[in-house]
Structure 1
Amino acid sequence: MGSPASALLAACVLASALACAPTASAQSRGELLYATHCIACHTTQVHWRDRKLATDWNSLKLQVRRWQAVAALDWSEQDVLEVTRHLNDSFYGFKPTSNTVGVLVPAANRSRNRPASN
């Protein structure tokens, strides 16, 4: 067997090699959900097209919510928000209106839900 000094040297070399090894970047939940459920149909080109439906933060979130429903993914509102953040960070750069997830009111019902102005 080798000496304790050579074992210590080998351990130090191994430790320094591991410390210098590149680490895998952690994926966000939104990125993981998108990669798992959406990327099969949505290449990056869909986010660059001229006729894209997402034109601001709210419309992007609406499209994420819409397509997860079409795919019957049953995502929580937090999941919708995480995927929206991932897409916004990766492709769009819209200014988020807030970090909370609100309830969408269909356009036809918006005027009925507003308080009457005097």
Structure 2
Amino acid sequence: MAIRLTPLALSLGLLASAPVAAADIQAGKNLHDQHCMQCHDSGVYTREDRRVNSLAGLTKQVRRCEQSLGLKWFDEDIENVVQYLNQNHYHFE
């Protein structure tokens, strides 16, 4: 028995496998500058003994800071800040 894929089925399959929308780096910078810089300067990102050593670790740290500050960021806000920090300071793959 052959399975026939219609154009609609093919399109839905492609959408399901598409990457998540690209982060908004400028929005991440704005959130970072407004909230993160209240507690520390950018030196925390570049010091030799930094605690964040991976993209997953960076995401965890941004979430931890967001919760500590009592912010109500959406997942996309966290991703925007993570990508801003990664692009400008960390450079993880």
Shared fold per TM-score greater than 0.5: yes
Shift, 1:94, TM fit: 0.3
Q: Give 1:7-26 correspondences, 5 Å limit.
A: none
1:65-115, CA deviations, whole angstroms, 9 ceiling, x for partnerless residues? 1100000001111111000000001100001xxxxxxxxxxxxxxxxxxxx
Query: 2:39 aligns to what SS in structure 1?
Result: coil
Q: How big is the shift at 1:50?
A: 2.1
CA distance in 2, matches of 1:74, 1:53: 24
- Tell me how far apart the structure 1 counterparts of residues 38 and 65 of structure 2 sit (CA, whole Å): 13
The alignment status of 1:28 with 2:26, answered yes or no, reads yes
Tell which structure's C-alpha radius of gyration is larger.
1
Q: CA deviation at 1:53?
A: 1.6
Unaligned runs of 5+ in 2: 1-24
Give, as a single letter, the amino acid of the residue that structure 1 aligns with 2:63. Answer: R
Q: Is the 8 A contact 1:64 1:80 kept in 2?
A: yes
Match of 2:56 among 46, 55, 58: 58
Q: Distance in 2 between matches of 1:79 and 1:28?
A: 11
User: SS where residue 38 of structure 1 aligns?
Assistant: helix
Q: Which runs of at least 4 in structure 1 moved beyond 2 Å after TM superposition?
A: none
Counterpart in 1 of 2:19?
Answer: none
Residue 40 of structure 1 deviates from its aligned partner by 2.0
TM-score by structure 1 length? 0.56
Task: Provide the secondary structure at the position in 2 that maps to 1:58.
Answer: helix
